[in-house]
Amino acid sequence: MKSIDTNVEKTLDRSNALYTIILHEIYLIEHESSFKNTLTKCLSGISFEHSNSMMILMATNNYTTAVSLLRLQYEAVARGLWLYFTAKETFLDKYAAPTVVKKLPSDFPNITDMINEITKAPVKGPREMLKAFKDVTWSGMNSYVHNGFLPIERFLNGYPNELLVQIMQSSNALNIMITTVLTRMSGDINKVNIVKHIQDDFQDCLPKLELMTQI
């Protein structure tokens, strides 16, 4: 099996350390058990699961599948933010009802709808981050999910180490994004400060969106 590059390995180790801190310091604490909070925490957990799975796949050189998970994680984070900031209570109730796959709610929003609604919400930060992330990565993420040109080309010719580092950094940024919502749910200023310290301490494994290239 191909040995892992030093920079990729370092980013992987740092990403796993970041994940562990977020999990134990933020995610696993008790939150107010409103239905909105429960659903938001559920989407947070899904995001963390996608991210953790990505790191496991990176460690075993299964890069194509690892990269593909970024799209799933992005949509989990977007839906979590949408649920928390803009979803109406009448819609939230539909999540509690028994679901038939062929009869999903007709007003179940797609990713574009959710971002548009978040953009109109009276809260700064999440809307800008979601839109900026989507603008930079969407085309590439779609290519991987639909087995388009990019995954085929990368599988044949190899994945640049810089790209693999960038994908992990992007996943970490999504985790930070949804973690800020969890801290808001907690109402604990100490948790808010923890996230601020995390962002400072883990700058080496977080991205600068303007420097990102196509995945």
- Average pLDDT on 156-177 reads 95
Whether 172 has a pLDDT exceeding 90, the answer reads: yes
How many C-beta neighbours within 10 Å does residue 42 have? 15
Residue 142 has pLDDT above 60, yes or no: yes
CA–CA dist 72, 68 (Å, integer): 7
| 8 A C-beta contact, residue 65 and residue 73 | no
pLDDT at 71 over 90: yes
| The predicted structure's pLDDT at residue 97 | 63
Phi, psi angles (nearest 5°) of residue 12: -65, -45
Other C-beta atoms within 10 Å of 136: how many? 19
Q: With 80 as the cut, is the pLDDT of residue 123 above it?
A: no
pLDDT (average), residues 108-127? 82
CA distances to 57, 143, 150, 178 from 64, rounded to whole Å, are 9, 11, 10, 24
At 211 the pLDDT is 42
Decide if pLDDT at 110 tops 80: yes
Per-residue pLDDT band for 215 (boundaries 50, 70, 90) equals low
Distance of alpha carbon 13 from alpha carbon 23, whole angstroms: 15
Residue 9 has pLDDT above 90, yes or no: yes
Query: 126 or 120: whose pLDDT is higher?
Result: 120
What does the mean pLDDT of the chain come to?
Answer: 87
pTM: 0.89
Q: Are 83 and 50 in contact (CB under 8 A)?
A: no
As given in the structure block, the two tokens for residue 196 are 């601020």
Query: Which range, 36-45, 47-56, 121-130, is most confident?
Result: 47-56
Q: Is the confidence at residue 213, as pLDDT, over 50?
A: no
- In the chain, what percentage of residues exceed pLDDT 70? 89
Q: What is the pLDDT of residue 69?
A: 97
Average pLDDT over residues 3-14: 87
DSSP secondary structure string, 57-104? Answer: HHHTT-HHHHHHHHHHHHHHHHHHHHHHHT--HHHHHHHHS---GGG-
